[in-house]
Amino acid sequence: MTRGGPRLLHGATVAGEIRAQVKKDVLAFKRRQGYAPTLAVVMVGSDAPSAVYLQQILRSCRNVGIHGRLVEIPGRVSAAALRNRIAELNDDPLVAGIIVQMPLPKRIPLSAVTDTLDPAKDIDGIHPLNAGRLELGHPGFMPTTAQAAVELLKRSDIALEGRRAVVVGRSNVVGKPAAILLLRANATVTVCHSRTRDLAAETRRAEILVVAVGKPGLIDGGMLKRGAVVVDIGINVVGERIVGDVDFESAKGVVSAITPVPGGVGPVTNALLLTHLMRAATEQAAQTSTPRRRLRQAAHH
């Protein structure tokens, strides 16, 4: 830890580098294919924090030349109708990637989305096929938030190999994939969750701590190893403020580096999603049987 406090792992610089490359990739794609790929962003209901996040994604799309399409679906929609809408997007040759904002309304099972999405367009890695590929180390789309957490560490030149990493949270979209990616980077990984006995004893052993639970202030400075590196993925609205799962004020005197909330993992997640979209668009363009001329015409209508 430096005398002036911990190193802040801001995501903006890393995200800017990623977006600059995506912008070049979009231009090259448009030169080859004659149209810009489309990202379909599906929002079921009107969850305010989700709407803010989705607008950020759509703005990022505009900034790099990708066509972002917001697909708003009423919260009272049936699971069958949601499946049908996703199937329509699967069949649309201009749509290269689809993301569905979570959480869904409680009466709609997650399987309505995960089992319907075309794995080739599932750029946030929630389809069982992509989840299996991640587990096995095969190429596929991985959950972007988990990828962003590890990518931010790597691009910040923080060594992972051989280090003791603890992940707090075992969700299928963040905690589990983050643990797998840390294992791939040769860290020694422990996964903690709501049934873990003596969470503080586990977190105090962590040289790298990744927290993704959604409980403000779950981890405080007394639960941290001196000199640890902390990646806080939590996004919680407390009054007028957005805070993470780690109590920043008590943590900053203990850790060597920490991600701020907001402004840490979020921007990198957003940028990586665009790289996934371009990979999906390129792979689909190579396989499509639809004449490019017709796709170009459809894109311009």
pLDDT in tens, 119-132: 999 999 999 999 99
Q: Answer yes or no: is 236 within a domain.
A: yes
**Which of 86, 120, 154 is a domain's end point?**
120
Q: Is the pLDDT of residue 182 over 80?
A: yes
Residue 41 domain boundaries? 32-120
Average pLDDT, the chain: 93
Q: Are strands 95-100 and 188-192 parallel, antiparallel or unpaired?
A: unpaired
Give the pair of three-digit tokens for residue 218.
């779950």
Do both 158 and 59 map to the same domain? no
Phi, psi dihedrals of residue 243, rounded to the nearest 5°: -130, 165
Residues 143 and 146: their CA atoms lie apart, in Å, by: 6
Q: How confident is the model at residue 2 (pLDDT cuts 50, 70, 90)?
A: very low
Overall domain count for the chain: 2
Confidence of residue 227 (pLDDT cuts 50, 70, 90): very high
Strand partners, 219: 246
Report whether pLDDT(138) > 50: yes
Q: Which residue has the higher pLDDT, 116 or 290?
A: 116
Radius of gyration of the chain (CA): 20
Q: Give domain status of residue 235, yes or no.
A: yes
Query: Predicted confidence band at 293 (pLDDT cuts at 50, 70, 90)?
Result: low
SS3 category, 91: helix
Residues 159, 227, single domain; the answer is yes
- Averaged pLDDT, 215-227: 97
Same domain, 259 and 162: yes
Single-letter residue type at 180: I
Query: Does residue 97 register a pLDDT over 80?
Result: yes
* The model's pTM: 0.92
Evaluate whether residue 84 is within a structural domain: yes
Look at the block and give the residue holding tokens 């709407």: 51
CATH of the domain at 93: 3.40.50.10860
Cα separation, 221 vs 234, in Å, equals 16
Paired with 229 in beta bridges are 208, 257
CATH assignment at residue 155:
3.40.50.720
Same domain assignment for residues 258 and 152 = yes
Name the residue among 177, 191, 190 with its Cα closest to residue 137. Answer: 177
pLDDT tens, 61-83? 999 999 999 999 998 999 999 99
In a domain, residue 14? The reply is: no
